[in-house]
Structures are given as C-alpha cells and as structure tokens.
Amino acid sequence: MIQRIDLRGTRPTPADLLAAVPRALTSVTVASDVAATLIDDVRARGEAALLDQAERLDRVRPAHVRVPATDIAEAVAGLDPDVRAAIEETIRRVRIASSAQVPPLVTTTIADGAVITQRWQPVSRVGLYVPGGKAVYPSSVVMNVVPAQVAGVTSLALASPPQSDFGGRVHPTILAVAGLLGVHEIYAMGGAGAIGAFAYGVPGLGLDPVQLVTGPGNVYVAAAKRLVRGVTGIDSEAGPTDILVIADAAADPLLVAADLVSQAEHDELAAAVLVTDSVALADAVTLRLAELATTTTHSARVIASLSGRQSAIVLVDDLAAAAAFSNAFGPEHLEIQTEDPQAVLALIDNAGAIFLGPYSPVSLGDYVAGSNHVLPTGGQARFSSGLGAYTFLRPQQVIDYSREALLAVAGHIAALSAAEALPAHGDAVIARFHPDAER
C-alpha cells in the first residue's frame, strides 16, 4: 500500500535529500491557463460570469452570489449546539494564540534627535477563501477570520462555493461560523473566479477589491492566487495537505498509523510520510495502515493517498538523519513521536507546525489547539510560514529626525550620493540648510 525509501548506509547531500523527497506530480502551472480564463471572464462580465461558472463547475446556479443577511442569521440559529460549543472554544483559543503574534511598536533612538519607530500596520481589507469540495471546513473560517481580526483588519469578505445539496447556498455551517464571528459580507462563489473577484472587485455586487487573499483551495485556486499576486497580496499557494512523522522504536505504531490516515483522508494527493530508524516500527505501521485504510469512512481516498508517489515510509540510520530528511521535505505538519521529542526538535528548521509527543496529534492542531491550521504545503515550509496575525500586518519604519540630527549626517549623505552619481539626493539635504530655506 505504501512505498519504502531506504536511505540507511548512505550519506546524502542536501541535494540528494531534496531529490529523494516524495512528491505528487502536481503543479499549479498546469492550471494557470484555465484559471486565467476564469479570472478574465469575471473581470469582463462580473456577476454573470460568477453565476455561469457556478452552474458549470459547481453544478448549481445560486439565487444570489452575495449571501443575504437572512441566510446568515438562519444558519446561526440552526447550528448544532455541540458544533457551536466546539467552534466557540476554538475561536477563544485561536484568539489567545493569535494575540501573541502581534509585535509591539518599538521606538529606537539612533542619536540625539534621530528616532526610528517600527510599527506594524494591518491591511484594511481582506478576502478569505473557504473551500467546499470533498469536505466542509468551518474550522478554516475560524483560522482565517480570527487572526485577521486580532491584527486589526476592519473589512472582511468571505467566499465559499455554492452547494448543490443546499440549493446553491453556501454550506450553512460555513455561514453560521462566519455569522458568529461577525462576518456578514459573504459570497457564494468558488474556484479561480472567486479569487479574481476578490482581486479586481465586482462593482455590480458591491464587492470592492481586497488587499490580501488568504485561505486554501484546489490547484485552480492556487493558480489563481499566483496570477493575481501583484494586484493583491496572497498568503500562500496552498495545495494538498501533508504530514511527516518522525518516530523511533518507542512510538506506538497504532498512533502513528492513525495520524497518517487522518491526513490522507483529505485528498487522494495528500502526502503521508513516516521517517524512522526502526525497521520493526516501519513493519508494524505498515500492518496498521492496511487495517485502518480499509475500515475508515473515506477508504478509497485514503488508499489512493497512501499508495501515491507522495507517501512513503523512509528508513534512516538515526534520528539526526530523520531530522535532515524532514528539513528537506519541509512538512506542513511535523509530528515527533520519539523517546526524547525535545532532542529531535532541536534539529528541526523547516516545518509549518510541529506536534510533540503522542498526545499532540495533528488533529488537535486542525481544531482546538489554539494554533493555526492554515500552513505551507508542498515543501513551502522550507521558506515560508503558516497563517497568523502577522500575515495581515506590514512592518513600517517611521523616520523622525530633527534639524540638528540631519545636519550631523549631511556630509555622509553628500558623499554617498556623489559616489552613486545621484547628486540630487545630496542636494535635497543641502537645500534644507540654505539661507533661503523656510524654517
């Protein structure tokens, strides 16, 4: 069911490790042409294009693209009490953790009268995308909205595909959670068209362009986000989920297998990887995977994921080699189930989120840990981070010099501007000390 990669007895270079990393054969570039066509259609025809795209791609034509307030209120009133309690606790925990991600304003005095202030300014308007394909993701509403609110974003718009099972409405649980969070600008639109609508606006719907688009989606959503980057900001090009577990002989094979299956149920292209220095554990996990994969609800999806080229059990000589492989993989979710998780953690550089020990499964982070589950996929954790309050903030330096402080460095500015053949730079400083300059 799942391939093995045996790296024991080798001394792979960083390039060798990158080449050995299992990846699905997917690329957002293959979806770019289709995404560009959908975005151009929305720019040209607005709401009519969104309705036509919904009918063709979501198999339903919504009565309204912009969700009426009555639909949101009805969804909130009809939310299952147990789900509401779980959502409210998730909101509380994510809000606490997100609040710790807002840096304080810092003022630095460089010299007498020379002050630099570092401030973090939120964007004012954000478009949040919540997918609606193989599963329903009310938790993603929380993970996108709460950090934005904590950061100080004042205008939030949410898009999610219309659902044929609900007569073209956005899924009621999505609407309910948005309503609980105070988000009332919601659109029944999905895919690349929705991303284009966020980036360029749809005047006929009263949808103004946003400064930042966040949220996961399929390959067409990822391609659309790449295409609009530069017109608007994006959080990342999120793709199929992945999990990597570093485990040794002390790990429980049932728990390791259960966690691999938990992520494999997301998508046939989801990656589930175990890296271990124990052949006995690898054998036991293989048996457990066969048992769990055939009995879980989404069995066909799980089997496809585990059998894909993106999933593997990797054998290494020791835990240092396991950490090196993990750093090359750059997992979205990294679990460390070893006798001494902290020792392995010290070797880890690249990961979206890290879960230590047998009682910190990825499922915890998906819901109520307080951490954010919108994380870099496909190896992007090697150079980027997950969603947080900081995603919605821009660092700005505020420069405040007195006349005396500028005069103290005027000679340096003149020397540097002359060296760069940009004399007007120096002249702009000298002008301030000219006898005719107004004080």
Which of 185, 265, 332, 335 does the annotation list as catalytic? 332
The order of strands in the sheet holding 233-234 is 185-188, 155-160, 125-129, 212-214, 233-234
Q: State the amino acid at position 257 in one-letter form.
A: A
Cα angle value 267/243/322 (rounded, 5°)? 145
How far apart, in whole angstroms, are the C-alpha atoms of residue 313 and residue 330?
16
81 phi/psi in degrees, rounded to 5: -60, -40
Strand partners, 245: 274, 335
Respond yes or no: is residue 74 known to be catalytic.
no
As a whole number of angstroms, the distance between CA 95 and CA 142 comes to 9
CA distance 434 to 431: 5
Dihedral angle computed from the Cα positions of residues 22, 23, 24 and 30, in that order, rounded to the nearest 10 degrees:
-150
Residue with tokens 């990656």: 271
Please provide the size of the chain in residues.
439
Would you tell me how many other CB atoms lie within 10 Å of the CB of residue 419? 8
Question: Could you tell me where the beta strands, DSSP code E, fall in 55-163?
Answer: 106-111, 114-122, 125-129, 155-160
| 154: region left, alpha or beta (phi > 0 left; psi from -120 to 50 alpha) | alpha
Q: Of 219, 195, 236, 228, which is closest to residue 376 (Cα–Cα)? A: 236
> Which position has the token pair 């990887």?
273
Radius of gyration of the chain (CA): 25
Q: Cβ of 115: how many Cβ atoms within 10 Å?
A: 16
| Gap between the Cα atoms of 78 and 68, Å rounded | 16
- C-alpha 235/C-alpha 218 separation (Å) is 15
Whether the CB-CB separation of 123 and 92 falls below 8 Å is answered with no
Given the residues 171, 266, 298, 333, select the one marked as catalytic: 333
Collapsing DSSP to helix, strand or coil, 300 comes out as: helix
Residues contacting 163, CB < 8 A, separation 6+ = 58, 60, 132, 169, 170, 171
Locate 146 and state its tokens. Answer: 């709460």
Active site residue 332: yes
319/303 Cα distance (integer angstroms): 28
Give the active site residues: 332-333
